[in-house]
Structure 1
Amino acid sequence: MDPQSRPPSLIVDPALPDSVSSVLRASPETLRAVRMGDIPSARGPDPVKVFSVAGSMGLIWIVTNFTVMLAMLILIGVFSGVQRLAADPGPRQERRRMRVAIDHANRFILPEDLDAECGALLRRAQDAAETVLESRVNRAALLDTIDNAVTLPDQTWQIATKLVRLSSLRAEYLRIVPNTPPPEVAEAFVPYSKALETARTSLIRRIEAMEEYAAQVRRADAVYHSYRQLELLAERTPQYEQLVADTTGDALAIPQLQELTGQARRIRELFLESMEDARRAAGYLMDSGGR
């Protein structure tokens, strides 16, 4: 599938505790049901069972005494408790997922909460964040300008919530103004359409800043493997130097030794340059997020 055509994935407010976010992420169908208002009403007691139990208690009261009836009530209570414990846990888990989704209905965003363009923009932001978080240089804790594990999910969530608002207001605008207004009144609608376009442009700039950061991290990642290889070889440089010195004359040894250290230095400089570019991109990302 073309990455550009992939829908965005479910996004949950990163500020939620893991105990809540894990429940939300594990039950997207429940989240959709809550979003659509398809919430089953709580089941009350079965009238037939209530009538049967009441009738039985009345009959016991008539033919025996209060002590026997009390003992029967205790037995019924114990039996009901055991029955609930032995019941299928599936419905209980579903009710819990439903309650969590209802209580946090504004803390998650589904793909269908966004129109097509805003969904594509969120996908771009998610892809950029994933590129950085899954990079080798990030896992090696070399991207120390910002805390990516905290900052990028927060940036993505902020972008997602604003894209939802943009989608909603844009849909409302198109419902109210489905066609091009007559020329003599068209100017009155311009501030509204301009506000939508300004918000769209601002969000695109933020996403492009994330993508630039991801591109610089990808470049640093490409050099990182070679850099690590050279770091390992650098520990053995004296052995290589001794080998060259012992097997060649001085006239050949000196240029080769210079080349040995020069190539390693160039790779290190390239890696350090790529890391600095990534850090600058991270700084620009933070600046654009604050606007």
Structure 2
Amino acid sequence: MTGEPRSRADGTPDVLVLDPDLPEAHRRAMAAHPALLPPPPRPAWGGRTGGDVLAALTVSALAGFLPLVLALARRGRRPVLVCAAALLQAATAGVWIGYGFAAFFLSCLAVQAIAAVTLLALAGESPVAAYGRRHTGRYVHARMLEPVDAALLERTAQATGVVLGSPLDADGLLDSVANRVTLPRQAWEIAGTLTELTRLRREQDAARSGRVTERISAVLASQQEALTVATRALARRIAALEEYARRTEEAQAVYAEWRTLQDLAEDGDAYRELLSRTVRDPLAADEVGLLSERAIHLREALRDSVEQARQAGSGLLSEEG
């Protein structure tokens, strides 16, 4: 799963749902760069272009002969990089002084060659694209789907993200273990169904683009009805996820207020002492005590709100149980 869904320039939501069983490092990289998926066919030379070669030769020449100048010219230059470049510059200058210009020139050429090879190795397409080709069929991006299915995928990602990103889940007030295991699998199952719906919709569009006889029209109408029923059923499942997310957001708001009151109540002794010094009135303690009472009432409201959220998710989570 990606984080908060974003929209691309063409209006397609930048939503990506991943197979939970993908290697964790691959999942993190792919989730961080959903716009790179699905990748184009494997390019020649690993996606490296003539521009990459020219840039590598130019930068490596500066790295070989004037490393300090290159380090100082970089935006956001780091002290460590500048220090390393200064040491390299001093080393090449030492070679010139100690062994002459010919040795200096050859050593700089060696550094340039190493730098050029390194830069070319780092150039080309992103590793995420390679992951995308390697794991074809184990992720679904919104732009792989028809608009109606992409919208359902976006709703799924939003609802799942709300629950998994909630402080309630992080603090263990919800069924965190079940959420972490079940919700990504639920999202992945929904994404798989949406992929199949899109495939069938496109098959129908292709059939309608040809010669449509009365019999073909009747079959297509029957298939369209099946697609409509399946889409509605899936939409109800997604609505259940959204209800869980809505209940979680409501409980989260109460939780945030309760934690604030808890923090204020911890300072009760200081306020009580302050009021006793200035007012000298028994009511002072009662005024401060209101914080604790409010915290108690809010804690009860929080308990009810969290319970409602847990009940909203219990049906979803029990499916994997």
Please give the TM-score of this superposition, normalised by the length of structure 2.
Answer: 0.61
Q: Name the CA distance, whole Å, in 1 between partners of 2:183 and 2:124.
A: 31
Aligned positions of 1:167-178 closer than 5 A: 167-177=198-208
Determine the structure 2 residue equivalent to 1:69: none
Amino acid at match of 2:19: D
Change (3 A) 1:8 1:165: farther
Count of paired positions: 246
Determine the structure 1 residue equivalent to 2:30: 24
Determine the structure 1 residue equivalent to 2:133: 102
1:272 paired with 2:280, answer: no
Cα deviation, residue 102, structure 1: 2.4
1:49-93 CA distances to partner (integer Å, 9 max, x unpaired)? xxxxxxxxxxxxxxxxxxxxxxxxxxxxxxxxx968851445566
Amino acid at match of 2:152: L
Is contact 1:212–1:281 with CA below 8 Å preserved after alignment? yes
Determine the structure 1 residue equivalent to 2:117: 87
Structure 1 range deviating more: 138-147 or 90-99:
90-99
Q: Name the CA distance, whole Å, in 1 between partners of 2:24 and 2:154.
A: 23
Q: Name the CA distance, whole Å, in 2 between partners of 1:83 and 1:260.
A: 70
Cα deviation, residue 15, structure 1: 1.3
Is contact 1:8–1:122 with CA below 8 Å preserved after alignment? no
Change (3 A) 1:257 1:21: closer
Structure of higher RCO (CA pairs closer than 8 Å, 6+ residues apart): 1
Cα deviation, residue 112, structure 1: 1.7
Determine the structure 1 residue equivalent to 2:109: none
Q: Name the CA distance, whole Å, in 2 between partners of 1:160 and 1:203.
A: 10
Aligned positions of 1:160-171 closer than 5 A: 160-171=191-202
Determine the structure 1 residue equivalent to 2:151: 120
Cα deviation, residue 164, structure 1: 1.3
Determine the structure 2 residue equivalent to 1:247: 281
Change (3 A) 1:257 1:42: closer
Percent identity, aligned pairs only? 30
Amino acid at match of 2:15: S
Q: Name the CA distance, whole Å, in 1 between partners of 2:31 and 2:121.
A: 18
Is contact 1:146–1:282 with CA below 8 Å preserved after alignment? no
1:220 aligned to 240, 251, 255, which one?
A: 251
Determine the structure 2 residue equivalent to 1:150: 181
Is contact 2:142–2:153 with CA below 8 Å preserved after alignment? no
Q: Name the CA distance, whole Å, in 2 between partners of 1:8 and 1:29.
A: 7
Is contact 2:12–2:142 with CA below 8 Å preserved after alignment? no
Cα deviation, residue 19, structure 1: 2.8
Determine the structure 1 residue equivalent to 2:313: 282
1:194-249 CA distances to partner (integer Å, 9 max, x unpaired)? 221122112111211111011001001111122123334555778889979x7248
Amino acid at match of 1:16: L
Structure 1 range deviating more: 95-104 or 136-145:
95-104
1:133-173 CA distances to partner (integer Å, 9 max, x unpaired)? 22222222211265323332222222112111111111111
Amino acid at match of 1:21: R
Amino acid at match of 2:242: E
> 5+ unaligned residues in a row in structure 2: which ranges?
47-111
What SS class does the counterpart of residue 208 from structure 1 fall into?
A: helix
Q: Name the CA distance, whole Å, in 1 between partners of 2:234 and 2:160.
A: 15
1:74-124 CA distances to partner (integer Å, 9 max, x unpaired)? xxxxxxxx9688514455664783543322111222222111111111111
Is contact 1:216–1:277 with CA below 8 Å preserved after alignment? yes
Q: Name the CA distance, whole Å, in 1 between partners of 2:26 and 2:213.
A: 51
Name the Cα RMSD after superposition: 4.2
Amino acid at match of 2:253: A
Is contact 1:129–1:156 with CA below 8 Å preserved after alignment? yes
What SS class does the counterpart of residue 247 from structure 1 fall into?
A: coil
Determine the structure 2 residue equivalent to 1:13: 19
Change (3 A) 1:6 1:224: farther
Is contact 2:18–2:140 with CA below 8 Å preserved after alignment? yes
Determine the structure 2 residue equivalent to 1:202: 233
Amino acid at match of 1:12: L
Please give the TM-score of this superposition, normalised by the length of structure 1.
Answer: 0.66
What SS class does the counterpart of residue 109 from structure 1 fall into?
A: strand
Amino acid at match of 1:226: E
